[in-house]
Amino acid sequence: MRGAERQVKKRRISLPDKTFQEINAKIKAGKAVVVTAEELIQLVAEKGVGRAAREVDVVTTGTFAPMCSSGAYFNFGHSAPRIKFHRLWLNGVPAYAGLAAVDAFLGATALPDEDPLNMNHPGEFRYGGGHVIEEFVAGKPIRLKATGYGTDCYPRREIETVITLGDLNEAVLFNPRNAYQNYACAVNTGPRTLYTYMGVLRPHSGNAHFSTSAQLSPLLKDPYFRTIGVGTRIFLGGGTGYVVHHGTQHFPGIPSLPADAPRIPSGGTLAVIGDLKRMSPQWLRGTSMLGYGATLSVGVGVPIPLLNEEICYYASRPDSDLYAPVIDFAEDYPNRRPGKLGMISYAELKSGRITLQGKEVPTAPLSSYSKAREICGILKEWIASGKFLLGEPVTLLPGPDAGIIPKTLEDRGPERRNG
């Protein structure tokens, strides 16, 4: 443990913890001190963790990046005569209709049936579920086509019509995995260009891509989940959303870090929900990944109450203290092999160049730091003006001590399948 972390534990003994209720009372009274994650870093550098923890009530965080595990569910209302959806398409993109009669779920990565995919590699994936969601939020008309198999109570077998977001009873953004705590830095040591969810990776480590807003990133600012849990109120897609569970692939373990680095977990995720009708296309953008697929870029911001010095310490860690694993997408990643290329700080990644195996490699982000900064500012204004209260979790999300171990999908023989 670093000296600063040891001092945090000593100082916490003499510092009374704040509560969500106390901070919300200050927000309602217009007296809460709210800063962005960048501002907290500067404040701690000037005044120290203890004084900053006493002075500041809330720090705002943000991220804006492609988040494939996103989607929306809808209720379209009933036609006359009624129909029970068996198959459904929105602007030619299939939605999942295996719910009640006129409920459906549209995934961000869903693609039109006629999309050539990667048949002519690399495919362009110009349009998918994420683009439909963006167009819904922008108020554009959406073509609905549905077929049914006909029942006594739902006799209609087909319908084609045009709808907008305002025509729907419910339209809810529900994302099973967002705001990944710490994405890897992706490189390609192989001999050919790779088209991945981390973008186009040039051969022989010709470039390196990363996708975390680092010192603004929500789950790197509360890495042990001391304040984030079910019921946490967040900025989501330009509106208000909530954390409803830990996300899929939530594995908040502590990686092997350099000796002088704070022990900050990585691998946590959020499952989030919010009213699509109150969101903005500025913060939900359909995105095409050459040679990989379609997705949705999502804006997420999480307020972190500074309940004590420990929380303040981790929330104030700068890019130089935050590290990403470097993963080779040529062989290691697709074959589920452990990464062997080490860890690198976000300060180095954001400098535009890193040194990897003796070679200078240019870097670029898939996430937008400027938009993450903008989210931090918007959330700060909402809280400072009393428009946005903190949601106290009914239960915190599991942290590294939970010991969650990732399971894998294995090829198994018929004896297991029949057992």
**Catalytic annotation, pick one of 68, 153, 312, 376:** 153
Q: How far apart are CA 409 and CA 419, in angstroms?
A: 17
Cα separation values, 43 from 55, 115, 168, 322, 348, Å: 10, 51, 46, 18, 22
Q: How far apart are CA 266 and CA 293, in angstroms?
A: 26
Q: How far apart are CA 399 and CA 224, in angstroms?
A: 5
Helix (H) and strand (E) counts in the chain: 10, 26
Q: How far apart are CA 257 and CA 265, in angstroms?
A: 10
Q: How far apart are CA 213 and CA 346, in angstroms?
A: 9
Of the candidates 305, 294, 295, 297, the residue with the CA atom closest to the CA atom of residue 279: 297
For residue 142, the cross-strand partners are 163
Print burial letters for 248-257: b (CB count within 10 Å at least 16), e (below 16): eebbbeebeb
Residue-level length of the chain: 419
Contact 379, 218 (CB under 8 A): no
Tell whether omega for the bond before 262 is within 30 degrees of 0, i.e. cis: no
Cα separation values, 146 from 77, 100, 243, Å: 13, 14, 32
Print burial letters for 37-76: b (CB count within 10 Å at least 16), e (below 16): bbbbbebbeeebbbebbbebbbbbbbbbbbbbbbbbbbbb
Q: How far apart are CA 227 and CA 318, in angstroms?
A: 20
Annotation says 153 is catalytic: yes
For residue 159 the two structure tokens come to 């319908």
Q: How far apart are CA 197 and CA 59, in angstroms?
A: 30
For residue 141 the two structure tokens come to 């008309």
With left for phi above 0 and alpha for psi between -120 and 50, is residue 328 left, alpha or beta? beta
Helix 369-384, helix 37-47: angle, nearest 10:
80
Contact 93, 412 (CB under 8 A): no
- Which positions are catalytic? 153
